[in-house]
Chain A
């Protein structure tokens, strides 16, 4: 059976799935709000974790966290399952669909046939919603795409049991209960505080603005340590994490700025609007980094595009973000 599901395209898969599922269950929410309450913003650079043999840089929290935190902050009940048996995983999915419940899935992008070929890499933390089944064909609301799509049972099974880093193990989740009279304000404040804490308070050198500075320091050494060719591959990888898909631009900074605007309206505090404007400027600065970095990757580096200059842009981002998150943290206390 095919249930009705209001598909809305969004920038990022997990916040899109969260917002769409909540809206389906009667709690209208924008993607930016889901991203904000899910405390999705982050920076982390973990050179000892490798993705396609390249060091991991991330602009968002670990997969699954946004949904988990939104549910936690708003007191929403969630059912989650992972599986070892593929047949059971599909049978359980079918059972929920027959009951008319849309189900969120974690999948590996490489096996989803409707994905554009240029984006088919082994990335295992892609979220989507299945809302119906017609024989062998599953109806899917994949928030990254403009329209709903369909996928065969065989392909969907493969995607759900993709292997490697962040293997989904057939993970599925759905909303079982939403309390009435939800007040967004306290959830917004505490999620903002969480983001501020990770970005500036935790004294761990690879996280938050400290992580950005650490990356800047490492980046300066790449050409000497690894040679120009490998240094460029490393650089390209950072740009992909920042811009390629699902970040809404500027490594999620624009989504977060949009969230801060909505937060200002909910909290009735215009000071959040100023912070949002500053966040937008920081997002633009990250994009300057991507532009200069991409010139470098293409071998068209200008005079001011050396690795030291690129590191300079990153340090500028780090300085501005440090000041911003300190001020934002202050706002949540007053």
Chain B
């Protein structure tokens, strides 16, 4: 890849830029500034779409009363039961239980605080059923980096 051919398809780095290796006119390698490359951007958006789809599914389940609001915060933070259990120091079966609305409503204030501080939110926010704008917010957070 020649220095002149280094792609500048802005997306992943936001307003910053990365470094890649390219050849100068004499065939010597130089560090070239680059702000992104379309194929990499496509692959990255695809990963985010997969996350949004998962979040949308979970939101529907929460509204149908099948899941607790904790499930939303778990997938919105790209976690699964195992990772969430590792972060909170709980057993997986405990986390799995808290993902159901009934047991979730019964958990202690202390445990609720533990979950909330992991996600950097308040205990009230953790318990609230996320509204329809939750998914949109997640997507804007991602889009902000494109500007």
A residues neighboring B (CB under 8 Å): 9-11, 32, 52, 110, 116-119, 121-122, 144-146, 163-164, 167, 232-233, 236-237, 239-240, 243-245, 248-250, 254-255, 257-258, 261, 276-277, 280, 283-284, 287, 290-291, 293-294, 297-298
Contacts and interface: CB of A to CB of B under 8 A. Distances in A.
B103 interface: no
Nearest to B84: A163
B86 A164 contact: yes
Contact of A163 (B21, B38, B83): B83
B44 interface: yes
B87 interface: yes
Contacts of A298: 42
A236 B41 CA distance: 10
Contacts of A145: 16
Nearest to B88: A163
A-side binding surface: helix, strand, loop or mixed?
A: helix
Contact of A243 (B16, B39, B141): B39
A240 B21 contact: no
A49 B1 CA distance: 32
B18 A258 contact: no
A244 B87 CA distance: 27
Given A117-B141, A118-B11, A261-B28, A240 B43 contact: yes
A298 B21 CA distance: 27
A11 B43 contact: no
B47 A11 contact: no
B144 interface: yes
Given A117-B145, A163-B83, A243-B37, A144 B1 contact: no
Contact of B39 (A119, A237, A294): A294
A118 B14 contact: yes
B19 interface: yes
Contacts of A297: 42-43, 46
B50 interface: yes
27 contacts: A11-B19, A11-B20, A116-B16, A117-B144, A118-B11, A118-B12, A118-B44, A118-B145, A119-B13, A121-B78, A122-B83, A145-B16, A167-B86, A233-B46, A243-B39, A244-B44, A248-B21, A249-B21, A254-B1, A254-B21, A258-B29, A261-B29, A280-B23, A284-B1, A287-B39, A290-B37, A294-B38
A118 B21 contact: no
Nearest to A287: B1
A121 B11 CA distance: 16
Nearest to A283: B1
A32 B23 CA distance: 14
B52 to A, nearest CB: 13
Nearest to A257: B29
B136 interface: no
- Which 6 A-B residue pairs are closest in the complex by CB-CB distance? A294-B39, A258-B29, A254-B21, A163-B86, A239-B43, A243-B40
